[in-house]
Structure 1
Amino acid sequence: MLQTTCIILFSVVAIFLPHGTAMLNLTLPGQHPDPEAVAREVHRKVNASMARREMLGVSEKEVASCLTGNPIDDCWKCDPDWANNRQRLADCAIGFGQNAKGGKGGQFYIVTDSSDEDPVNPKPGTLRYAVIQNEPLWIVFPSNMMIKLSQELIFNSYKTIDGRGADVHIVGGGCITLQYISNVIIHNIHIHHCHPSGNANVRSSPEHYGYRTESDGDGISIFGSRDIWIDHCTLSRCKDGLIDAVMGSSAITISNNHFSHHNDVMLLGHSDHYLPDSGMQVTIGFNHFGEGLVQRMPRCRRGYIHVVNNDFTRWEMYAIGGSAGPTINSQGNRYTAPEDPYAKQVTKRLDAGEGEWSGWNWRSEGDVLLNGAFFVASGAVAEPNYQNAYSTQPKNVDRISLLTMSAGVLGVARDNNLGMWIRGPNDGTVYFSDSGPEYTDEMSRSTMPLLPSRILILVSALLCFLGHTTTLTTLPN
């Protein structure tokens, strides 16, 4: 409540001050005082991981299973017993969201029920029951499941959703809402076909539920929250944004995700006039921006945005846009322009003339620009903010390919262009069909057969969980 009050107060005071930005300290909780140092640390870890891979001279087969040069994946995937050391993942984040600990140190919670029938009194065993608890929880899944939400899935602080070892899809009403909380990790989950919901009561903690107006239909909505890490998710086909971070959110890392089939991909910043978003800091790294994307990868209002080592293979209008003078630090990305001769520019300034945006700090360093792509930089050439934020200077495009080769949910098809589940004829493999409507009730089926290669890992993990999982008390009515 205190954080909410402060953010609103800052906005109101700024309206009546002639020099509101200069007279207010717009520091946000979790804001790093030296963003360039964070950018340098990201590059140091990337270069160290790439050097380790090259020094060992590992084969392509070994790279696929372990060393990739991606510092996040190399941190945990090279542990052969990672399934029994799951919470080590919380130590692997980089960038501005590196302090997001999620449910580290808490109990393991196993989601055994894919239903979501009552958003006020969710059943024990459901995902909704887990994410609203007050204590830290590391949430896992014993089987593949489709979770069709009835309303927004409102998180409490200190939660990790860990989808490794299962194929988990979240669809339906509102999808994921992170509002005025901290320390959340969302890992290895499909999120798609999210639509507006609301005008209903929804529980946000064991002690509280409240009336929610209609949501936008974002895949993940980050609202006034900090220390958030979204990693190895596959997102597509939501009503509004795939990931939005607004209203004073900061300390966020969005990494190793696969985005496809969407118009407004990612919004960072509530509005041009919302001054607290000037303190927003977001790292966007090692993501794959793929088929069927139009714009906003991201679209930034204010703040400091580090876009590093991503692979942009599709856009119809532009890749990176902004307004209200955000700082955009683009380093070591690969931008492949579309065939449309009028859409070759990576960047787009909105709601500002050249006389205004020419002073915005937008930099492209070490980026690979293909098929006629071009990045329009701005700001002072000798801007001190960038003297030490050096580029990764990739030797060739293969380096970016290696860093992003596993973007999205691990071990399954990246594409979320599906209508319903279908089963392979004999081998138990999961296939997706694009025939039929974009969203049907058939998508609410809760389970599918596990891929054979994952069974041993899951059994080992469950044996570990049995020693640590406790039964949570029933929610009050």
Structure 2
Amino acid sequence: MAVYSRLYLSLCSLLLVMVLVINATHGHSAEEAHEQFQSLKNSTMGSRLSEENVPNHEHAVDDPEMVVSMVDMSIRNSTERRKLGFFSCGTGNPIDDCWRCDRNWQRNRKRLAECAIGFGRNAIGGRDGKYYVVTDPNDDDPVNPRPGTLRHAVIQDRPLWIVFKRDMVITLKQELIMNSFKTIDGRGVNVHIANGACITVQFVTNIIIHGINIHDCKPTGNAMVRSSPGHYGWRTMADGDGISIFGSSHIWVDHNSLANCADGLIDAIMGSTAITISNNYFTHHNEVMLLGHSDSYVRDKIMQVTIAYNHFGEGLIQRMPRCRHGYFHVVNNDYTHWEMYAIGGSASPTINSQGNRYLAPANPFAKQVTHRVEQSEVWKHWNWRSEGDLMLNGAFFTPSGRGAAASYARASSLAAKSSSLVGSLTSNAGALSCHRGYQC
């Protein structure tokens, strides 16, 4: 009996040691993964030297290829954390896996500001300010907005994280002109900006627009509109874009649903840069996204935009996006509908398409993903490439330029992220339905 007792105690001791070793190893791995992710998020970007005689822009990044590689690193880290079981609800989408598994997301709303990737990854919005609760959906006076309205919130001179008291439909009389360091956060309620003017982001910085429905935007203008507590002025006619980004930087547009506007759903022009457009759901529109003002406006050479994890859905025709000049990383998006083409451009933009899923329409004359507004003798020198994309129903991407040149070298590892995963990466694109006390 004594022998069996000693043997039993020895086995128990051995099991205890093994449990302690396993826990220590797991804890160390989790800590290392967390530190690696935080290191990625906290690194900074310098100013990029513009080409030829184009003026410098303080928010253009020094090396766009490095940012593309950082996007890939975030995707890899997110996938590895999911494999290790750190997030039971993880999808491999690094933005969503950064915050959506938190049941207390409503108390930790500002964590979202740590989760952007790509060229707009440094957009902090109103992270460093107070919360502002919108209680009134009305927009009776664009010059003297009432406290509690969305317009009163976005024009303030201080950082603000703007949330909504309840579900609401906001019909704007004139453009909603945003001031710098603002977050519009529609999580937890159902907010529509619809049937009137929509959002203008002009000559500002650090804007996050998250979790709202934007649709049926109409041209407005020839009116006085306030843009800050101390300034209002005459606005000429606006085109009716869903979100118009004009001469602005550090902009992140994430998890919104956009449809059926008079002009573009999202347009970024006039030297805008450091932009990420992610996790959005686009439907029922002709000219979806314009990135670049005109072929002659060379200041748009500083433009750098990441387009990631979006779903380009039913009823879309063209411009997903349409690019000029600049540098555009199109990664892990789901293109399920287009009538003319998906990605277009002019004025020699650099377009890096990686890990997307392209489903061509039935029309045999619209199978090509790409469209160039130039003669082939000119566009054959533009750097456009497809790497790891999934082409369905006869879809094809016409590459050009230096497909294997140094301009793509630091982004080549992204091909390892299979386009077969695009369905799960984009399955929750658009405005989310989030409820207190539950994972969003």
**Contact preservation (8 Å) 1:394, 1:400:** no
Aligned to 2:158: 135
Could you tell me which residue of structure 2 aligns to residue 407 of structure 1? 429
Question: Equivalences for 1:107-186 in 2 at 5 Å?
Answer: 107-186=130-209
Measure the CA separation in 2 of the matches of 1:46 and 1:154.
34
2:383 to 352, 355, 361: 361
- CA separation of 1:226 and 1:304: change in aligned 2, threshold 3 A: same
Which residue among 430, 435, 439 is the counterpart of 1:454? 435
Residues 241-285 of structure 1: per-residue CA shift (max 9 Å, x gap): 000000000000000000000000000000000010011000000
Question: Structure 1, residues 293-333: CA drift from partner, whole Å, max 9, x if none?
Answer: 00000000110000000000000000000000000000110
C-alpha deviation, 1:396, in angstroms: 5.2
Task: Please give the alpha-carbon distance, in whole angstroms, between the structure 2 residues aligned to 1:25 and 1:214.
Answer: 29
Note if contact 1:365-1:391 (Cα within 8 Å) is conserved in structure 2.
no
Please identify runs of 4+ aligned residues in structure 1 that moved more than 6 A: none
Where 1:81 maps in the other structure, the secondary structure is coil
Residues 54, 301 of structure 2: 8 Å contact kept: no
Query: Retained in 1: the 8 A contact 2:106–2:436?
Result: no
Q: State the secondary structure of the residue aligned to 1:392.
A: helix
1:472 corresponding residue in structure 2? none
Deviation at 1:390, TM superposition (A): 1.2
Which of these residues, 76, 82, 85, is aligned with residue 47 of structure 1? 76
**CA displacement 1:84-131 (0-9 Å, x = unmatched):** 111111110000001111001101000000000100000000000000
Q: How many residues align?
A: 390
Q: Is the 8 A contact 2:338 2:361 kept in 1?
A: yes
Match of 1:213 in 2: 236
- Secondary structure of residue in 2 paired with 1:150: coil
Q: CA shift at 1:26, angstroms? A: 3.5
SS at match of 1:128: helix
SS in 1 for 2:111: helix
Q: Tell which deviates more after alignment, 22-31 or 254-263.
A: 22-31
Which whole-Å CA distance do the structure 2 matches of 1:393 and 1:270 have between them? Answer: 31
Contact 2:142 2:226 in 1 (8 A): yes
The AA in structure 1 aligned to 2:359 is T
Residues 428-469 of structure 1: CA distance to partner in whole angstroms, max 9, x if unpaired? xxxxxxxxxxxxxxxxxxxxxxxxx836679xxxxxxxxxxx
Who is 1:271 aligned against? 294
Q: 1:259 to 1:391 in 2, by over 3 A?
A: farther
Deviation at 1:73, TM superposition (A): 0.6
Partners of 1:238 and 1:22 in 2: CA distance:
34
Contact residue 289 and residue 319 of structure 2 kept, 8 A: yes
1:57 Cα deviation after fit: 9.7
When the two structures are superposed, what TM-score results if normalisation uses the length of structure 1?
Answer: 0.79
State the TM-score, normalizing by the size of structure 2: 0.86
Matched-pair contact (CA < 8 Å) for 2:321–2:343: yes
Encode CA deviations 1:334-378: one digit per residue, 9 max, x unaligned.
00000100000000001x111100000001011111110000000
Match of 1:29 among 50, 54, 58: 58
Aligned partner of 1:371 among 393, 398, 401: 393
- In the aligned structure 1, how far is the partner of 2:325 from the partner of 2:355? 22
Distance 2:179 2:418 in 1: 43
Match for 2:199: what amino acid?
A: I
- Residue 44 of structure 1 deviates from its aligned partner by 1.1
Separation (CA, whole Å) in 2 of partners of 1:22 and 1:315:
34
Larger-gyration structure (1/2): 2
Q: CA deviation at 1:22?
A: 5.9
SS at match of 2:171: strand
Alpha carbons 2:155, 2:229 under 8 Å: kept? yes
What residue number does 2:114 align with?
91
Q: Given the alignment of the two structures, is residue 198 of structure 1 paired with residue 221 of structure 2, yes or no?
A: yes
Instruction: Give how far 1:381 is off.
Output: 3.7
> What amino acid maps onto 1:166 in structure 2?
V
The 8 Å contact of residues 383 and 403 in structure 2, kept in 1 or not, is answered as no
Displacement of 1:27: 2.9
Following superposition, the deviation at residue 194 of structure 1 comes to 0.1
Shift of 1:224: 0.3
C-alpha deviation, 1:178, in angstroms: 0.4
Q: Which of 289, 308, 315 lines up with 2:331 in the alignment?
A: 308
Give the Å deviation of 1:67. 0.8
Match of 1:38 in 2: 67
1:135-177 per-residue CA deviation (whole Å, 9 max, x = no partner) reads: 0000001211000101000000000000000000001333000
SS at match of 2:258: strand
Distance in 1, matches of 2:78 and 2:67, equals 17
Against the structure 1 CA distance between its residues 285 and 23, is the aligned structure 2 distance closer, same or farther, given a 3 Å change threshold? closer
The Cα of 1:391 is off from its aligned counterpart by 4.4
Partner AA of 1:341 in structure 2? P
- Contact 1:331–1:391 (8 Å) recurs in 2: no
Counterpart-to-counterpart distance in 2, 1:307 and 1:45: 15
Paired-residue identity, %: 61
Is the 8 Å Cα contact of residues 270 and 300 (structure 2) preserved in structure 1? yes
Q: Return the alpha-carbon distance in structure 1 between the equivalents of residues 58 and 218 of structure 2.
A: 30
Does residue 189 of structure 1 match 2:206? Answer: no
| 1:335 aligned residue | 358
Q: What is the CA distance between 1:24 and its match in structure 2?
A: 1.0
In structure 1, what is the Cα distance between the partners aligned to 2:164 and 2:117? 25
Contact 2:192–2:213 (8 Å) recurs in 1: yes
Residue in structure 1 matching 2:283, options 249, 260, 273: 260
Letter in 1 for 2:292: G
Q: Distance in 1 between matches of 2:297 and 2:273?
A: 14
Aligned equivalents of 1:393 and 1:293: distance in 2?
A: 27
Match of 1:385 among 395, 404, 407: 407
Q: Which residue of 1 aligns with 2:125?
A: 102
1:16-73 C-alpha deviation (Å, 9 max, x unpaired): xxxxx96414432311111111001101111221222234398xxx5xxx31111001
- The gaps in structure 2 that reach 5 residues or longer are 1-49
